[in-house]
Homo-oligomer: A and B are copies of this chain.
Amino acid sequence: MAPKALNIGMIGYGFMGRAHTNGYKRVNDFFDLPLRPVLKAACARSAEKIQAFADQWGYESIETDWRKLVERKDIDAVDICVPNNLHKEIALACAANGKMILCEKPLAMNVAEGEEMCQAVEKAKVVNTVWYNYRRVPAVTMAKQLIDEGRLGKIFHYRANFLQDWTISEDLPQGGNALWRLDVEAAGSGVTGDLLAHCIDTAVWLNGKVSDVTAVTETFVKERMHNLTGKKEKVGIDDACAFLCHFQNGSLGLFESTRYARGHKALYTFEINGEHGSLKWDLHDLHRLEFFDYKDEGKLRGWRSIHVTDGEHPYMNKWWVPGLQIGYEHSFVHHVRDFLEGAAKGEPCGPTFRDALETQKICDAVLASGKDRSWKTI
């Protein structure tokens, strides 16, 4: 039976707008699903820019006011792909209009906003999800399976980092377009919301809730030219952030992110150590999962490099053949796949707004701890 159409309204057209759209366009080629996304409308303030985007990717129409898009009867689901400071308002309007919502991460500027958003979608009973896409890299999904199967036993340690090096130059400006991530007004925070939030979402998914944190934050470059004001302005974001924490299961956590780690482009790694085994993953080689199994025969124990490309690995029976890897963008295709499966049944697709609020709480606590140098209970 042919899948039913699900009309998508996309707000935004940047890096994430492309990544999500690619997910919508590809998912039915590879997965048998009850729904098929239709690229109904794309929206941005600049008519010229959004028209070019719509032409390139095949959106049927454009809007220049997101309120209009949200109110359109022919839109089933809205994708919020705009800077963080706009998430809340749009989400509330979507909920009010009964639209499903796919919101870019982090959920909000802070916990207060996030809580309001959660209440809105829960009251409106609209299907909602937040694009923490790394959960659906097959090797990461497989880590979740192995942990849930009890293969690691009691957990002692979780560590993750997300290291980049693209803001080292003092000449890089802040604000506007691609550089809104450096502008605290638009982004809310620096690496904490942008990078650590990914690490935290995965961590809570794999290892459960966090009880308390202590953090350090740093802004290495104190002033940068601002693209919107045309003047040198104080930099309000955190360039680097690290924190220690306890998880509720008694394990210790260690997290770090920075945009000043020369030589690393997008080095998101995590490792989890348990009584019976350990797991490691690295975004730079995202199709591999490293697994140490203490149950292996003593003299033969070693870290196994699992090339997660077999038919029995998560999502992989729909792609190519063993040994042939997929890439970063496929995590979005998988997210869309799971969202559509859920949406057809009116079921949530994790991480929901409520799940993402948990990450927001930790981010807020981390930033607060970075300011006053004390432990914070979550």
Contacts and interface: CB of A to CB of B under 8 A. Distances in A.
B306 A265 contact: no
A261 interface: yes
A205 interface: no
Contacts of A302: 289, 291, 304-307
Interface string A243-257: 110100010101010
Given A246-B216, A291-B300, A164 B323 contact: yes
Contacts of A243: 244
Interface stretch (A82-90, A115-123, A278-286, A350-358): A278-286
B313 A260 contact: no
- Among A246, A264, A313, A324, max chain B CB count under 10 A is at A324
Interface in A77-101: none
A265 B294 CA distance: 12
Contacts of A301: 263, 304, 306
Contact of A261 (B25, B156, B319, B325): B156
Contacts of A274: 262
Contact of A293 (B57, B152, B300, B323): B300
Taken together, the copies of this chain in the complex come to 4
A29 interface: yes
A262 B323 contact: no
A244 B55 CA distance: 49
Interface of A: 2, 15, 19, 21-22, 25-26, 28-29, 55-58, 142, 146, 152, 156-157, 159, 163-166, 168, 214-216, 218, 220, 240, 242-244, 246, 250, 252, 254, 256, 258, 260-267, 273-278, 283-289, 291-294, 296, 298-307, 309-310, 312-313, 319-330, 373-375
Contacts of A57: 29
A258 B159 CA distance: 12
- Among A19, A277, A329, max chain B CB count under 10 A is at A329
B273 A261 contact: yes
A58 B240 CA distance: 47
A368 to B, nearest CB: 14
